[in-house]
Structure 1
Amino acid sequence: MREVLPTLRPITQRDYAQYFRLLDVVFGELPIERIRPFDIAEYLRVRGETSKVRANREKALFSTIFNYARAWGYVDSVNPCVGVKGFKEKARDRYVSDEEYLSLWRTAHPTVQDAMDLALCTAQRPADVLKIVVGDIADGKLSISQNKTGKKLRIAIEGDLADVIARILAKPRSTTNHTLLQDPDGKSLTYFALRSRFDKAREKSGVSFQFRDLRAKAATDVEDLAHAQSLLGHKNRSTTEIYTRERRGDLVRPLFKRGKD
């Protein structure tokens, strides 16, 4: 937590800090070599009564911490998480309709509107949208390097994306801060500010989707699998097929039976 956590992304730091507090209550005073697979399984069982997803995340953090302990010479026993299965998680399949998007957009803070439009036009993750700087815009293209995969993309600035970028750049902005998305005071729009403002707009509009669902909406609305795969940065076409198909389902033709004269 002292040496590794500060090197991670802010959102990961926040999540890990929350997970660690709970793990520390249970395992903090136990000698590390005495922690057994049974202890991990029991933690999952009890924690899963409240949240199965969080139980899985906390187990994953414990496993990471234990692996560091092995690498640093604190213990040489097998990671007790090995062989302990977490809870099965259902893949997210939420599709955001145009009506839902507009309903939330109209009630949102202008910075959230800009971030939503950028995310929808580019099909990028929130963190990748927030880190765009003006220098990424050159020669009619928007250059993006995805945080999660390291995948590099160049997206043509045309159509709606061109309009969105022009609208953002036309607003009063700091000349020393080069981040594309800025607060009215010229500071960079942070993940936490975006999340807070988005949640307020969601509550006000009565729409339940999450900001991350815009990535899937963009890819699904393209309706060209090769185009969607390129935007998402997926290596495999099959991944894109699953990602988009689960949102709206396969498009199939109905049975046609000619009636009797």
Structure 2
Amino acid sequence: MASEKFSFTKSALTAVVPPSSGRTYCIDTQTRGLCLDVLASGTKTFQIYRKFDGKPKRIVLGRFSPTLSDARDLPTGTDPLSLIGNSAELNVRMARKLADAVNASMDKSVDPAANARTVRQLKEQEMTLRQAFDRYFSDHVLAHEKRSAQLMKDDFARYLGTVPAGQKKTHGKERSKSAGTVDWETRKLSSISPADTRRMLLNAKDGTGARTSNRILALLRAIFNKMIDWHLYTGANPCAGIDKFKENSRERFLTGDELPRFFAAIDKIDHVDFKDFILLSLFTGARRANVLGMRWQDINFHAAILTIPTEVSKNGNPLTIPLTDAARTVLVRRMGNAPKMANDPAEKTASPYVFAANSATGYMSPPNKHWKALLADAGIEDLRLHDLRRSLGSWAAMGGTSLPIIGKMLGHKTSQATSVYAHLQTGPVALAMEAATAAMQAQGKVVDRLPPLPPSE
């Protein structure tokens, strides 16, 4: 096994001729223990060869690359010892720095190769983001019966993971990744840096908006925090120190000049289910999903109350919504026209839902196409279905209703500042809703009479 000593340079190492068989070694005269292992195949590998604990020890540093510039250095902030065992491509400058770090470690009786193996083994055992989310979901979200569980699962797939092919939403539309989002399912937790996170959030903001980007940040931060709390990850949270984006609150509602056109367009609608859905959305202020999924058993006609159960309430608490005369007019008519159960003397409705439909959910799907047609007929732009809910609150505010009453009217989760009003009953809320409904109907020149109530059970 031949060997020769000289001061390593790029040109000198490039000129070394591989042996016809076996290997040969070149020894650097400037750095202790640094040598070049030259194989017959032409592969040239930097190594450290010296005694450790009284025995010869050989540690592979990386391959010599004749194409790397002499000015190229190890990446700033990189621990040289982290490169051991990674088959890094090195020039002479980089090899000498790495050799100095290895020598310093060995002088302290620490075997850097053994440490590198341990680090690699830990990295191989380290959780991926998918594994971390699954653990977070099962041991925290489901264990604490978080009502947002399915939404959180969908958010992870849409924003941070993979949306399985063929997966569809409740009403049939196929799910897909949102613009500007990532698939980090297979990434190890330690590979996700703060810089990666900031870049991802900026792209998500550009692609889907500030509100969605903030949701992604909250989910990713929560996953990392739990893994750290549960001692399943020893690194830092890449979301630490990252602020949420400012969200611009939407203030759109039906204005005074739009209401006559809006009600006139509603009167021309032939689709009764859609027409009633719009009116109930406007007159109850309930969220779209709660109106679509409204059940007869949750309506008390004589008390004029609609109850939104906990399991479908967005804020996690059951909501009690007073029913105005206008809302009851729609509901009483629908109950009278709803198909009844056969041979039932009580004439119970065949479906539990107010907007019954032959669908996977049992009730009507969001009527987006009909909504667009309604707006076009009314000559109204930039109005969303959710803005009907905001319209009730806005007209109540313009009528002088207090903010705590409006918050209760719309089922907002009370903040600490308004918690003193938690004892409010539905009486003043009902008055406020009646006033707001009457104001909208008056502006829209609508005359409605409450039909007879159904018999009490």
Normalising by structure 2, report the TM-score. Answer: 0.44
Structure with greater Cα Rg: 2
Residues 30 and 85 of structure 1, relative CA distance in 2, 3 Å threshold? same
Q: Pick from 224, 229, 235: which aligns with 1:66?
A: 224
Residues 201 and 231 of structure 1, relative CA distance in 2, 3 Å threshold? same
Q: Pick from 17, 20, 41: which aligns with 2:198?
A: 41
In 2, Cα distance between equivalents of 1:102 and 1:33: 57
In 2, Cα distance between equivalents of 1:101 and 1:155: 24
Describe the SS at the equivalent of 1:144. strand
Equivalent runs, 1:50-199 vs 2, <5 Å = 50-53=207-210, 54-67=212-225, 69-70=227-228, 74-97=232-255, 98-99=259-260, 101-102=262-263, 105=266, 106=268, 109-138=271-300, 139-145=302-308, 147-173=313-339, 175-183=349-357, 188-190=362-364, 193-199=365-371
Query: How far off its partner does 1:198 sit?
Result: 4.8
In 1, Cα distance between equivalents of 2:152 and 2:244: 20
In 2, Cα distance between equivalents of 1:198 and 1:237: 40
Query: How far off its partner does 1:125 sit?
Result: 1.4
Once the two structures are superposed, what CA deviation does each residue of 1:82-130 show, in whole Å capped at 9, x if it has no partner?
2212321211111223146336644584323222211211112112223
Residues 25 and 43 of structure 1, relative CA distance in 2, 3 Å threshold? closer
Query: How far off its partner does 1:164 sit?
Result: 1.3
Equivalent runs, 1:205-244 vs 2, <5 Å = 205=377, 207=380, 208-222=382-396, 223-226=399-402, 227-234=405-412, 235=414
In 1, Cα distance between equivalents of 2:367 and 2:227: 34
Please identify which structure carries the higher strand content.
2
Amino acid at match of 1:173: P
In 2, Cα distance between equivalents of 1:68 and 1:108: 53
What is the aligned-residue identity percentage?
Answer: 22
In 1, Cα distance between equivalents of 2:194 and 2:318: 40
Describe the SS at the equivalent of 1:49. helix
In 2, Cα distance between equivalents of 1:196 and 1:157: 25
Amino acid at match of 2:373: A
Aligned to 1:18: 158
Once the two structures are superposed, what CA deviation does each residue of 1:112-163 show, in whole Å capped at 9, x if it has no partner?
3222211211112112223321111223322323612244444444421111
Describe the SS at the equivalent of 2:337. coil
Normalising by structure 1, report the TM-score. Answer: 0.71
In 2, Cα distance between equivalents of 1:118 and 1:63: 39
Question: In angstroms, what is the RMSD of aligned CA positions?
Answer: 3.7
Query: How far off its partner does 1:179 sit?
Result: 1.6
Query: How far off its partner does 1:46 sit?
Result: 3.2
Query: How far off its partner does 1:41 sit?
Result: 0.8
Q: Is the 8 A contact 1:56 1:87 kept in 2?
A: yes
Amino acid at match of 2:279: D
Structure 1: 5+ residue stretches without partners? 240-261
Q: Is the 8 A contact 1:144 1:153 kept in 2?
A: yes
Amino acid at match of 1:178: P
Query: How far off its partner does 1:211 sit?
Result: 0.8
Amino acid at match of 1:60: A
Once the two structures are superposed, what CA deviation does each residue of 1:6-31 show, in whole Å capped at 9, x if it has no partner?
97476666555422345984423321
In 2, Cα distance between equivalents of 1:93 and 1:137: 30
Describe the SS at the equivalent of 2:306. strand
In 1, Cα distance between equivalents of 2:294 and 2:339: 15
Considering Cα pairs closer than 8 Å and 6+ residues apart, tell me whether 1 or 2 has the greater RCO: 1
Describe the SS at the equivalent of 1:170. helix
Query: How far off its partner does 1:232 sit?
Result: 1.6
Q: Is the 8 A contact 1:107 1:201 kept in 2?
A: no
In 2, Cα distance between equivalents of 1:154 and 1:47: 36
Describe the SS at the equivalent of 1:95. coil
In 1, Cα distance between equivalents of 2:252 and 2:200: 30
